[in-house]
């Protein structure tokens, strides 16, 4: 697993745990908020078409045991 994947996993797990432990938050809502925050950041420097293709690629990879994170190489 890449360093980026490990760091992202840690950040997401921390955020989901924080939401789970707060009565005013929902774990699923936190997950959606994380996804939307990433998409929003992508749209700051990538086209809608490019982001859509990225999300489609990730969706198609959901059943992979260990999806590959590339660095644009």
Check residue 2 and give its pLDDT: 84
- The C-alpha atoms of residue 45 and residue 38 are separated, in whole angstroms, by 12
Q: Does 49 score more than 90 pLDDT?
A: yes
pTM: 0.78
Helix locations, 1-73, DSSP H: 3-20, 27-42, 48-60
Predicted pLDDT at 63? 83
Nearest to 35 by CA among 24, 46, 43: 43
Query: What is the distance between the alpha carbons of residues 71 and 50, in angstroms, rounded to a whole number?
Result: 15
As a whole number of angstroms, the distance between CA 54 and CA 24 comes to 32
């Amino acid at each position: 697993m890449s360093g980026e994947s490990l760091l992202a996993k840690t950040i997401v797990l921390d955020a989901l745990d924080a939401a789970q432990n707060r009565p005013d938050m929902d774990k699923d809502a936190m997950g959606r908020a994380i996804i939307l925050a990433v998409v929003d950041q992508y749209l700051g420097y990538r086209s809608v078409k490019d982001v859509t293709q990225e999300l489609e690629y990730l969706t198609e990879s959901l059943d992979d045991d260990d999806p590959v994170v590339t660095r644009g190489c």
